[in-house]
Amino acid sequence: MKDKDTIIKLENVWKIYQMGNVKVNALRGINFHVKRGEFVAIQGPSGSGKSTAVNMVGCLDIPTKGEIFLDQENIAHLSESDLAQIRGREIGFIFQTFNLIPTLSAIENVMLPMVFQETVKEKRLERANYLLGLMELGDRKNHKPTELSGGQQQRVAIARALANDPAVILADEPTGNLDSKTGRTVMNFLNKLHKEENKTIIMVTHDDKLAKEADRVAFLKDGHIIKT
């Protein structure tokens, strides 16, 4: 019987990289699940495998062994083109470095993921305006990234992550390049998305205080989840 409450499940997932004559076990048979509407933080020291784990969850890579289910679909053995389609539809990414396109305005950056999903222009504009309003950036929509503060850029990035109404928000050190006050503002928006929009959020963070705001924390070490 399928578990409809579980949106992400990793079953005995291994990732082995071949570095010359040496095999590196980045993930060693991890088992991990996220419930729909849950806020989970992932922590671990450098080299623990957390970036690799996030790549698996985000459909950015496939496992050497094991199974990965996203919304009950096994994505572990899909082609790159199929994974790209799933990424665009089901997962919204928020990066530490914002990754906004500098030549595009805020509203154009938010509209971009919808272009790849072939959403009609009127719907793209309507959705982007709504999301920038939600992020309290309606008056900055025609500004380019260089004309925005770090916190404003990150809020544009959050709006972009929500463009296709994804099932999962994957936030990789979302406050890492921000001062503490601006980082607090960004976290408030993530918490709002979780509590008011019932979004599933997976956040990678080195900050223990931020991790405590999640429903639970998964801690990785040496390719294993040692605590969750």
Kindly give the pairing relationship between strand 22-35 and strand 39-43: unpaired
DSSP single-letter state for residue 3: -
State if pTM tops 0.85.
yes
Q: pLDDT digit string (tens) for 50-67?
A: 889 988 888 888 899 999
Please indicate, yes or no, if residue 29 is contained in any of the structural domains: no
218, 56 contact by CB (below 8 A): no
DSSP single-letter state for residue 115: H
Please indicate, yes or no, if residue 195 is contained in any of the structural domains: yes
Residues of the chain under the 70 pLDDT cut: 1-3
Q: Helices 180-196 and 150-161: crossing angle, nearest 10°?
A: 20
Q: Is 35 helix (H, G, I), strand (E, B) or coil?
A: strand
Q: pLDDT digit string (tens) for 162-195?
A: 999 998 999 998 998 889 989 999 999 999 999 9
Please indicate, yes or no, if residue 146 is contained in any of the structural domains: yes
CATH code of the domain in which 140 resides: 3.40.50.300
Q: Strand pairing partners for 200?
A: 168
- Domain of residue 108: give its range: 38-61+78-227
- Encoded tokens for 47: 């080299």
7, 34 contact by CB (below 8 A): yes
Please indicate, yes or no, if residue 31 is contained in any of the structural domains: no
Please indicate, yes or no, if residue 222 is contained in any of the structural domains: yes
Count CA atoms closer than 13 A to 206's CA, side-chain side. Answer: 8
- At residue 1, the pLDDT reads 38
Please indicate, yes or no, if residue 89 is contained in any of the structural domains: yes
Please indicate, yes or no, if residue 24 is contained in any of the structural domains: no
Please indicate, yes or no, if residue 101 is contained in any of the structural domains: yes
- At residue 54, the pLDDT reads 87
Domain count, the chain: 1
